[in-house]
Amino acid sequence: MAEEKREKGRAGAAGEKGKEGRRALLEARDLVKEFPLVNGRRGRQVVHAVSGVNLTIYEGETLALVGESGCGKSTLGRTLIRLIPATSGSLFFEGTEFASMKEKEFAPYRRQMQLIFQDPYASLNPRMNVRQIIAEPLTTYGMAKDKQELEEQVRELMKEVGIPTEFINRYPHQFSGGQRQRIGIARAIALRPKLIVCDEPVSALDVSIQSQVLNLLKDLQDGYQLTYLFISHDLSVVKFIADRVCVMFLGMVCEIGDTDELYENPLHPYTKFLLDAIPKADPKLRNEEKQLLTGEIPSPVNPPSGCRFHTRCPYAKEICRKEVPPCIQAGDRQVFCHFPLDGLES
């Protein structure tokens, strides 16, 4: 890695190059999301949830967004597909800027970008049966010409996600957690979107059910040519499903790279800490020397200056406290650190 051509500069979606022939589906440039702090002193404080993120999601891939809870993963996922408005920055879908579009102009793009929630029970209306839940988006977007076609589409989607069609009149409380998540997935794919943000889609499920839902997501990706942004704090799940990984800390990106390469050779100190924290099945590896993260995540209301990780990083030097790290590009990898591991130079 140290021998690879190094390009230093501001991370920019326009400058981010993928593996041959991949087309950018969604790009974010200098994306910022801040929330006013309701009870903040003087009413002027803000939560810096997402700060200057540049990111490209390529067609057909699964990009995982990882980091500790509270790092801004879910907020970034929702801001990327305009479920919540960005404070500033640009968003492009297949090359067209959509963050600044009027709502009416944005409607066709909304259909292309859907969300699967962590808690399927909370996201499914308890007063609607499966038929109504899955039919709702189809009706809203006029996807069926009449009632019969609508019924056929609903039943087809139920089959796709493995819910028996004889359960079409059942309500969410009559299903298990895994089945409810399948219904949420059916609703998300009903509009034939190109991009689905999966926000911790299996973290509320038993481990035995997790793999079934992950396999379903993979099958649907192949069948429907879907692109996933997969948000998770579980690095074992991420290793199974993701092509590339984006590591976040306190609203900023630390490192982006191919999943296998990043797991094999993390270049950002924070990535290494996260990977070291994964429990090892092999007893010989359990006693390997590893550093564990200490200290609390700093407040996103008053984030540390320079590198936001500097208050927890054992390699921090003076410059880390003063200057935001540059983006170092090594092949397909991007690392935001003044002193990356493995000898890369900033």
Residues that bind ligand SF4 (CB under 6 A): 269, 307, 309-310, 313, 315-316, 320, 325, 337-339
Smallest separation, CB 341 to ligand SF4 (Å): 9
113 or 313: CB nearest ligand SF4: 313
48 or 338: CB nearest ligand SF4: 338
149 or 345: CB nearest ligand SF4: 345
201 or 325: CB nearest ligand SF4: 325
175 or 309: CB nearest ligand SF4: 309
Smallest separation, CB 66 to ligand SF4 (Å): 16
Smallest separation, CB 315 to ligand SF4 (Å): 4
Q: Which helix (H) or strand (E) holds 131?
A: helix 130-140
* SS3 assignment, position 175: coil
Smallest separation, CB 64 to ligand SF4 (Å): 20
172 or 340: CB nearest ligand SF4: 340
Smallest separation, CB 323 to ligand SF4 (Å): 9
Smallest separation, CB 311 to ligand SF4 (Å): 8
Place of tokens 């800490």: 273
230 or 309: CB nearest ligand SF4: 309
91 or 320: CB nearest ligand SF4: 320
Q: Where are the beta strands (DSSP E) in the chain?
A: 6-9, 24-36, 46-58, 62-66, 88-93, 96-97, 113-116, 195-199, 227-232, 244-249, 252-258, 327-330, 333-336
Cα–Cα dist 219/221, whole Å: 5
Total residue length of the chain: 346
Smallest separation, CB 269 to ligand SF4 (Å): 4
* SS3 assignment, position 333: strand
**Residue 178 corresponds to which tokens in the numbers above?**
């895994």
203 or 265: CB nearest ligand SF4: 265
CA atoms within 13 A on the CB side of 243: 16
8 A C-beta contact, residue 32 and residue 50: yes
Q: Which of 100, 98, 125 is nearest to 112 (CA)?
A: 98
Smallest separation, CB 224 to ligand SF4 (Å): 38
Smallest separation, CB 326 to ligand SF4 (Å): 9
- Cα distances from 223 to residues 97, 128, 135, 196, 219, in angstroms, run 28, 28, 21, 14, 6
**Residue 71 corresponds to which tokens in the numbers above?**
């790092």
8 A C-beta contact, residue 303 and residue 310: no
Contacts of 21 (CB under 8 A, 6+ apart): none
8 A C-beta contact, residue 17 and residue 335: no
φ and ψ at residue 266, rounded to 5 degrees: -65, 140
